[in-house]
Amino acid sequence: IKLQVLNECRMRGFGSPLSQALYRSRMTEKTLDALLGAMNDHLPAFHRYLRAKGRALGHENGLPWWDMFAPMGSLDKKYTVDEARDYLLEIFGSFDGELHDMVKTAFDEAWIDFFPRKGKVGGAFDAAVPSAGQSRVLTNFDGAFGDIVTLAHELGHAFHDRQMIGLPMLQMEYTMPVAESASTFNEVLVVSTAIERAGSREEKLALIENQLSDACQIICDIYSRFLFERSVFD
């Protein structure tokens, strides 16, 4: 598999697989190095988090792999679709009117396929419908707070879709770093607000743990995969 990538890079004139990936992402190596350098500089903060979680779960020598995603605190409240809608509209309305109005339209005009059912794929995704100037969102909503965060994420993609309306078709394709900007921003906005409003220590702990766990996966896990793959290519 790696030899195939190397051969394709040679045939297409790329100096390395990384050069090809950067070209496709419309990113300079200087930008990537700055991002990875910042991640590397802040790894000690994640080391402290993982050790602290290990101690909280009764482990003295760090966090065992099997407890990596063990829940902390308590976040048992369940939400209806209407409650999720009101929650998101309140938060987005305090930030940006256009985002608020698009999310309201998505709920009012049934852009969202909410509930799990037999034969339905798991997870969630957004799909643009340029000809209609709309989007469609698939999710598997069961009422947990995490499902509201997922909705916020996918509706961020839908908001990005909206910014593409009216552009020529060849300008509608954008790269992964750009594609995840609005969706990740929405997630951060919703979770940060929830942490500020937490009604108990246990609820706040659960929310902070979820946020740290997600960040740890990106900073530690994905970074380690990059380093591993680069070494394989070398």
Q: In what order do the strands lie in the sheet with 112-113?
A: 112-113, 134-138, 125-129
| Predicted confidence band of residue 175 (pLDDT cuts 50, 70, 90) | confident
**Three-class SS of residue 39?**
helix
Would you say residue 22 has pLDDT above 90?
A: yes
Q: What is the mean pLDDT of residues 212-229?
A: 92
CA distance 174 to 142: 31
Would you say residue 172 has pLDDT above 90?
A: no
Judge whether 164 and 131 are in contact, CB under 8 Å: no
The model's pTM = 0.85
**DSSP bridge partners of 136:** 127
Judge whether 133 and 105 are in contact, CB under 8 Å: no
DSSP string, 103-172: HHHHHHTT-EE-S--TT--SS-EEEEEGGGTEEEEE----S-HHHHHHHHHHHHHHHHHHHHTTS-GGGS
Give 108-145 pLDDT, tens digit per residue. 999 999 999 999 999 999 999 988 989 999 999 999 99
Judge whether 183 and 157 are in contact, CB under 8 Å: yes
Q: What is the pLDDT of residue 205?
A: 95
Q: What is the pLDDT of residue 179?
A: 87
**DSSP bridge partners of 127:** 136
Q: What is the pLDDT of residue 178?
A: 85
Q: What is the pLDDT of residue 137?
A: 97
Give 42-97 pLDDT, tens digit per residue. 999 999 999 999 999 999 888 999 999 999 999 888 999 999 999 999 999 999 99
CA distance 210 to 87: 19
Residue 157: Cβ-neighbour burial (10 angstroms; 0-12, 13-18, 19+):
buried
